[in-house]
Each structure stands twice: as C-alpha cells, then as structure tokens.
A and B are shown apart, each in its own frame.
Chain A
Amino acid sequence: MRKISLLTITYLALFWACKEADPLVDPGKDILDSYGEICNDTLYAVADTFLVKGKVNTANSSKLLLGFYKDFESRFLIKFDKFPADTIAIDSLKMRLTSFSSFPQEAGSIRGKIYLVTNEWQESVNSDVDWDYRDNIDYSPETSADFEMVSEDSATFLIDLPTGLVDIWRDTTAGNRNFGLLFDYSEVQQIIEITSSETFNENNLPKLIFIYRNTALDSTVKDTSIATMDASVIEYNGTFNPENVYIAAGYIVNAFIAFDFSLIPENAILSSVDLFLKQDSDNSIINTNKGSSFYLRNVVTDYDQLPYYRIDSTFITNLAYNVLLSEDDDKQLRVINSIRPNIAQNFIQSIINKDIKHGSFYLEYTNQANEISVYAIRHSADPAIFIRPKIVVEYYLLPSSRI
C-alpha cells in the first residue's frame, strides 16, 4: 500500500505541474480573434453653459493691469508705507514701474492720470462690490499726475509725482491716513501689464524714489520704498452671449459641459481619454500673454441644478482628478498627452464604474486673476457637429469571461 500511496501522491502533485513562461504564438489577428475588443468612442457634449462669477480677487496677482480693450477696463491701486523722516523735504518724487507685456501686443503708449486715494481699500478690493474707485479718489490737480507708458515688454518707466503727496501720506494728524494712489488710463485700446509687488523678481518691484538734500552730509540722497499693497480694479461692461460658451480670466466666467457616459459600456476598461474643445475665435478675447492652460474639474451635482453646483474637491489630493488642458495647434483644448492614461484609468474610469455619479465638468483658467482673457468654445449645438465639444475614449471591452 505504501507504494500505491507514494505513486498516487506523486501523480497528483505532478498532475497540476508548475507552469513556466510560455513562448507567445503570433497567429495573426485575421485568424485569432482577440479576447475582448478595443473600442474607440466619441461622445459629443449633451449640454453646455457658462456661469459668470464676475469680479476676481487680484490680491495675489503678479501683474497690475491698466487700460481698456474691447469691453474690459482696468485700473490699479498702489500704496507705499515707508517714507523719509517727516523733517526731510523731498526734492523729487518718482515712481518706478516695470512692464511685463501688453494686450493686445501692438505698438503705442498708454497715457493717463494718477490720483490720490482718499479711502481705505484692501488688496482684495476688486472682489469688493461695494468699493468704487470713483467715490474714493481726489481729483484735485495738486495731488494728481500725468503719465505715459509705452507698450513694450519689460520696459521701465519713471513717473514724476507731486512731492506734496509724501507730506500728505506722512501726516497722521487729525485721523489722516495714507491710502495710496490710483492709476487711471485715458482713451486707449490696449491693456498694459505692470509687474506687481507679488513678483519674485526684486528688480521689477514697483518702487517710489525720493530725492532729497541731506543737510548734515551736505549731499543729495536717493532713497527708495517698495510698494506694500497693490491690486487691479477690473470692470467688464459687455455681455456674454448666452448662445456661446466661455471661460474667462480677469473677470471670472466658467464653462460647464456635460457628457452622457452611459453610452460607454459598464464593462469598459479605459486606456486613454482626450477632450476636444474647439476655440470659437470670433467670440474670444485671447490674451496671448496668458498661457492657454485650463483645469477641468468634476461637478458632483446634477447638471440641471445649475447655477448651483459643487466641485469634487478630491482634485486637491488626487492627481488623476486634476486635469490640465492645453491648446493644440488647431486651437483646440486637449488633455495633456502624458496625463491621458492616468485621467482615463482613474478619473473617467470612476465615472464609468459609477464611483463618481456625474459626468459633467467645470472648466476654469489655471490662473484667473493674473490677466484678462476670454476663451470661447464651440458649443454643443454648433451646426458643425464635428467641432462640438467631444470626448474621445479608447477602451477595452471586457467580455464577462473568456470561457
């Protein structure tokens, strides 16, 4: 019996013998059906719209915007807090500003006036709907100055200011305070972008330059002070055509696009995804200084609940939910090449898997405060079907079983 047992156990153990790596046979796809099916589907947007959020908080913006272009106009506020001692009489007062660029980039110059601000403001003033610069500046010629800035990139401007402004700012008697200056433009069809106090480049920081006589040393002294507060005050006087879809920066407009992902089979396993949003150039105000990069977020409320909506906040920690779009050579916003697999296999797959309930998206400029730009996209009812917003999904259609 021992021999029978030994042989039987040996046999049973070896019946399901270990597997080694097999060489792969390539019989040709014309005779051997692939297991499952690779599919490529295009989903056209089923709905789209935009919401105008309006004024943006420019507190942390690295640019100060000044000028008028199309329906946008912008002024900026600036404040300095450090001055020479009260006893020093200022002989000359200048402001040094550095341009970043202009929009649109055309030759010319911007002229305007600088006014003394008479009331308190915060750097977030642009989003304060109750604060109107018109009610808070001193128009008197003694405290005003003219300026002219040529629209060149990285140009430095020295603007003469009345020296009496320093006395006003230094005077803290009777409740007087320093509220800084407002830069206003005259007639112009251009917006100049000035480097703000938020810039990392110290050489380009807005500065006040004081020249005065030091009697003790019997010499002329040049002193500087860096701006402590600044903010753009942007106004939009136009209307956004409700038949189009917009994304805007400088004056916040966000687009919403909904897709019907139920058209993708539940057993689909995604390998790649791309989004195509064609620019509507007739309705766009494209600031070429602004990088055409956008975020795509998932809206976790039903599309028909707009304008109330909530965005899936997990994009903050989940890279797959942080979709970056950029413009291609055909003026289409697309998902950046290298992140497509990750977006497909995590973000969009979660929608297919119904881990995320809603298949609608929210689009915004990656930086909404730094520049003015309006990106209009061809909408879901565009007569030319192929340029409607669409999402192209490549997936593997997994059969329930090979056997």
Chain B
Amino acid sequence: MKVNKIFLLVLVAILSCRLIAGTSIFGYGSKLPGSYQYPYTTVAAGRGGVEMAIVDSMSLNQTNFALWAVLSRTTISLNLRFQGISTKSNYQDMSSFDASVRGGFFAIPLLKKKLVIGMGLIPQFKNDIGVKIMDIGFGASAVQTVETSGNIGDAKFILSYAPFSNFSLAVVPSYTFGFIADDIAIRYDDNAYGNIFIQNKFKIYGPGVGFYAFYQLGSKFAIGGKAIIPTKLTLYTEQMSLSKKETVVEFRKVMLPQNIGIGIAYKISNRWQAGLDLDYSNWKDDYKIEDVTIGDVTNSYRIGAGFERLPEPRRFISTVADITYRAGLFYGQLYKIANTNYVSEYGISFGIGVPIIRQNSHLDFAFEYGQRGNLSKNLLKESFFRLYISVSANELWFQREER
C-alpha cells in the first residue's frame, strides 16, 4: 500500500515538471490567450473526451460537475498529461514535448448521493512556445523571436445537488487567474542596427460562474449539459524595454467566451456504454478586449464519441476482469484562424481504468493521437500524441484502515 502511494507521488512529480515545454502553435497569436485546454479527465480522454453524461462514482468529472452529486465518498482526483507535438510548416519541421497537470479536484459529500461540495484547479489556457519570424527588417534583415510562457487556470468551487435520484445540477463559481510572460527580441544581422528587447508580463484574474445539469432517462439514457457564462476578467499588463525607461502598466478588461456543452450517454448492456459530447465556445462574438472583438478567431467546437467496456460486475474474479477498456474519436475546430482558414482537429483515443487499493482507488490511463491544421489550407500542420494518467482515491485515503 505504502509503495503504491510513494509511486504515485513520484509519478506526479516527474510528469508535472516540464522537461521541455511546448504547446500548440495554433494557440499562439496576437491578442490570443493561448492554447485552449478542454477540461475532460483521463477517464474521458480514453473514450474521445466524452464524460458529459457518463456517471462515474470513482473519478471526479471535470466536464459536468452535476455528476458529483452521485458521490457517496470523499474523493480526490488528479489528472496529468504528457504530450508530444510534431509541427510541420513549409519552413521547418520540429517537435516539442510537454508534461503538465490537467486538473485536480476533491469532493466531499455532505449528504450521500445528494449534496456534494468540492473545489479544485484546472488549466484553461497554456502558453509555452517560442516562435521566430524571419526577415522582418527593412534596412537590414532581422529575426523576431517571441517566447511566451505561462498558464491561465480556474479555481473552481463546486456545489452539486441532486433533488431527485435521476436529476442533479451544479453551480460552480470560479476564479480565473494566470500569469503569462512574453520575451520578445528583434535581432539584426547588421551592426548598424541595434537589437531590441521587450518583456511583457500579463496577469489575468476575475470571477466567473458555470451551471451544470444531468438527467437520467430510465435505465439506459442520460443527458448532461453545461453553460459557462462569459467571464469578464481584468488583464494587467506590464511592458518593459530598455529603450523606454518607464514600465508601461495597463489595466484592461478581457472577456472570455461563453462555453456550452451537451452530452448523451447510452447504456448498451451491463458492461457496455457509449456516449457523445459536444462542446462549443462562442469566440467570435464573446471574446473581447476592452469590448472590442478580435478578428482572427472563430467559434470553436469539439465533438467526441466513445464507448467503454465496464469491469465484470462480480468483483475480485481476476485483475483483467476489473479493468475498464475505453476507445473513442474526436473532431473539432480550433478558435484560432490560420491563413484565413479554420483549423480542424481530429483524432482517436484509447484508455483503460485499473482499480487499486481494494477497489477504493482507481488509476486510469489514456492515449490520444490526433492531427490539427492542414499544410495547404493553414500552412501549418501538427500531429500530436498525448498520454494521460489520473489517480482517483476514495475514502480509504481519508479514514484509518481497520486492523
């Protein structure tokens, strides 16, 4: 038991330390907050990111908090991800890797399967990329590099309530916060031109709220949905350069878009269930800086479909029989427009769930492979793989074991 816990903590430490950081090139751009991170868990990643309407009493759902109401035990979940991205342009092929936390939550049932409260942190945007733009000078050739790093995440405070056994809802106030730093350099080849260095620091913060609901129709169908209200945040900017003595400080308002989602689940048999999720964000109209919309964005969506084979209902038959097997597909459109064209993303995923510690905790693994962008349409293409791991623990982590 102790060995398992130590192993988990070591795994957390290794995976969370970004040895080489790199996020999607499609998250970079002027006026953009970074690469958007869909909130789904490792469990959901295995079935195409689907979890809006799929009940899971072992892990904490990060897409639909209304499903927390079914919990009867105090639960903690931590999701980690390692990803590799291969970026191809007409100028360069390159690879980058990134390991990071995908969200961590804990939930405490105040009334078993009725009222659950909880909180956690989840990344919303990631920025870890360096770009270089060649030949930008007039009098002499210059290269501009922009290295940007930092995350925007949400601290969420969950109140999930099930007024009926087949219906639950959640209200989730959140506090968005993040820090992003840009290091910009323009370097000339010619010594008649001086290099230019600028540093931008951004702090983004402000409250938001989301509403979640779940409804079970009979024993086979379930439906879930969410609506996250557009969030108006404060954007604090510090800009420094050697040429300008004063640090330019600015406070502005940035509006993150409304996000809605809907999902359905169907229980095919005792051991098979399938689901489909749709996630949609209204970037085009809602994403604003100082009440002005940004031109180079479009509405983003993601459709995921997947299924899973559940463990043998009779427990402790064999280790293999206790494993959950998952598979799925996803297709979507990113919010960034590249080369005046929309950017598509699609891929497949597989996953497994393994119970540990006498069925009270769960380890889940998922693998995604996908592509985004198109070399002829977007002039950029990315292939990516993602390895997910999550640990979910129930009451044994918080109660003494009886001897």
* A contact residues vs B (CB 8 Å cutoff): 1, 3-4, 6-8, 10-12, 14-36, 38-40, 269-272, 274, 337-338, 340-342, 344-345, 349, 353, 355, 392, 394, 396, 398-403
Tell me which of B146-154, B210-218, B312-320, B324-332 binds A. Answer: B146-154
What residues of chain B lie closer than 8 Å to A271, measured between beta carbons? 137, 142, 186, 188, 193-196
Complexed CA–CA distance, A26 and B380 (Å): 10
B200–A402 contact, CB under 8 A? yes
A403–B254 contact, CB under 8 A? yes
The contact sample of 9 A-B pairs, CB cut-off 8 A, is A11-B104, A14-B17, A23-B94, A24-B130, A24-B147, A26-B89, A28-B90, A31-B379, A340-B194
Q: How far does the Cβ of B31 sit from chain A's closest Cβ, in whole Å?
A: 6
Which 6 A-B pairs give the minimum distances between C-beta atoms?
A341-B194, A14-B16, A40-B138, A22-B130, A272-B193, A24-B130
B176 contacts chain A at the CB level, 8 A cutoff: no
A-B CB pair tally, cutoff 8 Å = 229
Known contacts A22-B129, A340-B192, A29 near B135 by CB under 8 Å: yes
A15–B121 contact, CB under 8 A? yes
Q: How far does the Cβ of A160 sit from chain B's closest Cβ, in whole Å?
A: 56
Q: Which residue of B lies closest to A28 (CB)?
A: B91
Q: How far does the Cβ of B186 sit from chain A's closest Cβ, in whole Å?
A: 6
User: Quick one: which of A4, A10, A31 contacts B12, CB cutoff 8 A?
Assistant: A10
What residues of chain A lie closer than 8 Å to B33, measured between beta carbons? 403
Known contacts A35-B30, A394-B193, A400-B250, A24 near B131 by CB under 8 Å: yes
B194–A28 contact, CB under 8 A? no
B224 contacts chain A at the CB level, 8 A cutoff: no
What residues of chain B lie closer than 8 Å to A30, measured between beta carbons? 339, 379
User: Quick one: which of A29, A33, A36, A401 contacts B29, CB cutoff 8 A?
Assistant: A33
Q: How far does the Cβ of A265 sit from chain B's closest Cβ, in whole Å?
A: 12
B192–A26 contact, CB under 8 A? no
Q: Which residue of A lies closest to B78 (CB)?
A: A11
B179–A16 contact, CB under 8 A? yes
B20 contacts chain A at the CB level, 8 A cutoff: yes
Complexed CA–CA distance, A392 and B192 (Å): 13
B186–A396 contact, CB under 8 A? yes
B192–A338 contact, CB under 8 A? yes
Q: How far does the Cβ of B134 sit from chain A's closest Cβ, in whole Å?
A: 6
What residues of chain B lie closer than 8 Å to A401, measured between beta carbons? 200, 202, 235, 237, 239, 250, 252
What residues of chain B lie closer than 8 Å to A36, measured between beta carbons? 144, 184
A19–B128 contact, CB under 8 A? yes
B89–A28 contact, CB under 8 A? yes
B209 contacts chain A at the CB level, 8 A cutoff: no
A403–B235 contact, CB under 8 A? yes
Known contacts A27-B131, A32-B29, A38-B142, A7 near B78 by CB under 8 Å: yes
Complexed CA–CA distance, A21 and B183 (Å): 12
Known contacts A20-B19, A22-B20, A272-B194, A3 near B101 by CB under 8 Å: no
A25–B130 contact, CB under 8 A? yes
B237–A31 contact, CB under 8 A? no
What residues of chain A lie closer than 8 Å to B123, measured between beta carbons? 15
Q: How far does the Cβ of A153 sit from chain B's closest Cβ, in whole Å?
A: 35
* B contact residues vs A (CB 8 Å cutoff): 5, 9, 12-13, 16-22, 25, 28-33, 76, 78, 87, 89-92, 94-96, 100-101, 104, 106, 121, 123, 128-140, 142, 144-151, 153, 179-180, 182, 184, 186, 188, 191-196, 198, 200, 202, 204, 235, 237, 239, 241-245, 248, 250, 252, 254, 289, 338-339, 378-380, 397-398
What residues of chain A lie closer than 8 Å to B94, measured between beta carbons? 23, 25
What residues of chain A lie closer than 8 Å to B398, measured between beta carbons? 1, 3-4
Complexed CA–CA distance, A18 and B250 (Å): 26
B243–A392 contact, CB under 8 A? no
B21–A12 contact, CB under 8 A? no
Complexed CA–CA distance, A23 and B107 (Å): 39
B96–A403 contact, CB under 8 A? no
What residues of chain A lie closer than 8 Å to B19, measured between beta carbons? 20
Q: Which residue of A lies closest to B101 (CB)?
A: A15
What residues of chain A lie closer than 8 Å to B200, measured between beta carbons? 401-403
Complexed CA–CA distance, A47 and B210 (Å): 63
A34–B144 contact, CB under 8 A? yes
B191–A29 contact, CB under 8 A? no
A402–B130 contact, CB under 8 A? no
Q: How far does the Cβ of B58 sit from chain A's closest Cβ, in whole Å?
A: 17
What residues of chain B lie closer than 8 Å to A399, measured between beta carbons? 30
Q: Which residue of B lies closest to A11 (CB)?
A: B104
Name which of A6, A11, A26, A270 has the most chain B CB atoms within 10 A of its CB: A26
Known contacts A14-B12, A25-B87, A402 near B30 by CB under 8 Å: yes
B31–A403 contact, CB under 8 A? yes
Complexed CA–CA distance, A241 and B379 (Å): 62
Q: How far does the Cβ of B387 sit from chain A's closest Cβ, in whole Å?
A: 17
User: Quick one: which of B29, B139, B245 contacts A392, CB cutoff 8 A?
Assistant: B139
B241–A29 contact, CB under 8 A? no
Q: Which residue of A lies closest to B204 (CB)?
A: A403
For the A-B complex with A27-B87, A345-B194 known, give 13 more contacts whose Cβ atoms are closer than 8 Å. Answer: A17-B17, A19-B128, A20-B18, A22-B129, A25-B131, A33-B30, A34-B133, A270-B243, A271-B186, A337-B191, A342-B194, A394-B138, A402-B200
What residues of chain B lie closer than 8 Å to A403, measured between beta carbons? 31-33, 180, 200, 202, 204, 235, 237, 254, 289
What residues of chain A lie closer than 8 Å to B139, measured between beta carbons? 40, 272, 392, 394
A22–B186 contact, CB under 8 A? no
Known contacts A8-B104, A14-B13, A35 near B144 by CB under 8 Å: yes
B32–A400 contact, CB under 8 A? no
A31–B289 contact, CB under 8 A? no
Complexed CA–CA distance, A19 and B133 (Å): 22
Complexed CA–CA distance, A45 and B5 (Å): 75
What residues of chain B lie closer than 8 Å to A7, measured between beta carbons? 9, 12, 76, 78, 104
What residues of chain A lie closer than 8 Å to B95, measured between beta carbons? 23
